[in-house]
Structures are given as C-alpha cells and as structure tokens.
Amino acid sequence: MSANTGVAVGKYRYTTLDILIIAVIAAIGGVVSAYVVGAWAKFIEGAMGPFGAALNNPFFIFWGIVAVLLVPKPGVAIISSLLTGIVEVVAGSLDGSIVLVFTLLQGIGVELGFLAFRYARSLPAAILGGALAGVGCAICLTLVFGFTKLDPIPLVAFFAALAIADGLIGGILAWVIAQGVGRAGFAGEREAWQRVG
C-alpha cells in the first residue's frame, strides 16, 4: 500500500501517511496526558489554584498543534485533539470523560488558528492555534467549575493567562517538535493541502 493512497473528503485528500501520523500523535499524546501531564496538572493547580492551568494546559494541547503542523489540512486539529482525548480517557485520565469536551473545544481553537493562516506551517499559526486552544480550555473550566462567579477582572486575567501560556509554551513547543520531525523526513505532504483533481 502506498503512502499516497488514502481518503478523499470533499476537495482534500488525506493520505495513509497523514492518517498514520495523526493516529501515532494521538496515541502517544493520550497516554502521556493521562499518566504524566494529568498528575502535573493536579499538583500545579493544587498549588496555584485555577491559574495553575496556565502551566499545565500547554502540555495537553500541543499534540493537536504538532499534528496540524505535520499534516496541514482542514479538520486535522479537531480530529487529532479528539483522538488524543479519547486515548487519554481510555488510558485512565484522572479527569474522566469531561476530557472529551475540553479536547473538542481546544481542537476547534487550534483549527481556527491554523485556518486564519490558511494551514501554513508557521510559528505564528502554531502560536495563534495554541492561544485559541487556551481560550477553549478557559471556557470549559469557567463553565464546568463555576468560575463564572469570579469578578470580571480575575476572569479576564484567567482567560488571558491560558491564551498566552498555551500560545507561547504550547505553540512554540509544538513548532520545535514538528520542525525536528520534519527534518527527520517523517512529515506529511509539504503542500498546505492537496486538492483531489
């Protein structure tokens, strides 16, 4: 089977290699999130309260950014983020199935960030995708854990902290990893997306 065979969705082709890259990232990301990042999140949020999420969420969200940097096509961020969440839940996440809501909103954030740059493999796209994933996480945390009761200034600061941390830490970390993987020759197609013609 050739790496160029795959699935056509509308005008776009997702090759077997694309699907394999997404699956591997989701599998690794889900297990690491369940066993390593989840424990760090409990520790740092216990020490710093809600603002501790700014120091753990970048390590949850960067997997989806890596995926779309390696396979820069529509839908990759959402699918890889959701798959990472599914693996995390199955692997025994400390947070349970609510992870799926978080990963959906974070994946939408990453997707919108890359859409704004037309799925270019660029550091600004990675940073914007990370920042919007942080906003998605902040929305979830606010609604699920009742942060709506916070005064407006701390609430805005909370959203800003997650957006900045996820954009800078998560976006740059994903960019560095994707650059390394790309140099090793394992990246997906070099085009932003391949039209089926």
Question: Which pLDDT tens digit goes with each residue over 131-150?
Answer: 999 999 999 999 888 777 87
Q: What is the pLDDT of residue 3?
A: 53
Compute the distance between CA of residue 64 and CA of residue 192 in angstroms, rounded to an integer.
Answer: 16
Q: Is residue 135 part of a domain?
A: yes
- Long-range contacts formed by 137-141: CB under 8 A, 24+ apart: 137/53, 137/57, 137/60, 137/61, 137/102, 137/105, 137/106, 137/162, 137/166, 138/53, 138/162, 138/163, 139/105, 140/98, 140/101, 140/102, 140/105, 141/50, 141/53
**Letter for the amino acid at 133?**
A
Domain CATH for 178:
1.10.1760
Q: Is residue 194 part of a domain?
A: no
Compute the distance between CA of residue 164 and CA of residue 28 in angstroms, rounded to an integer.
Answer: 25
Q: Are 21 and 70 in contact (CB under 8 A)?
A: yes
Q: What is the pLDDT of residue 4?
A: 59
Q: Is residue 188 part of a domain?
A: no
Question: Which residues make Cβ contacts (< 8 Å) with residue 163, sequence separation at least 6?
Answer: 131, 132, 134, 135, 138
Q: Is residue 137 part of a domain?
A: yes
Q: Is residue 192 part of a domain?
A: no
Q: Is residue 158 part of a domain?
A: yes
pLDDT digits (tens, 9 = 90+) for 73-109: 999 999 999 999 999 999 999 889 999 999 999 999 9
Q: Strand, coil or helix: what is 119?
A: coil
Locate 5 and state its tokens. Answer: 């065979």
Q: Is residue 91 part of a domain?
A: yes
Q: What is the pLDDT of residue 182?
A: 82
Q: What is the pLDDT of residue 13?
A: 84
Q: Is residue 116 part of a domain?
A: yes
- pTM for the predicted model, two decimal places: 0.88
**Confidence band for 12, pLDDT divided at 50, 70 and 90:** confident
| Domain encompassing residue 43 | 7-183
Q: What is the pLDDT of residue 150?
A: 79
Locate 190 and state its tokens. Answer: 């070099």
- Domain count within the chain: 1
Percent of the chain topping pLDDT 70: 89
Does residue 192 surpass a pLDDT of 80?
no
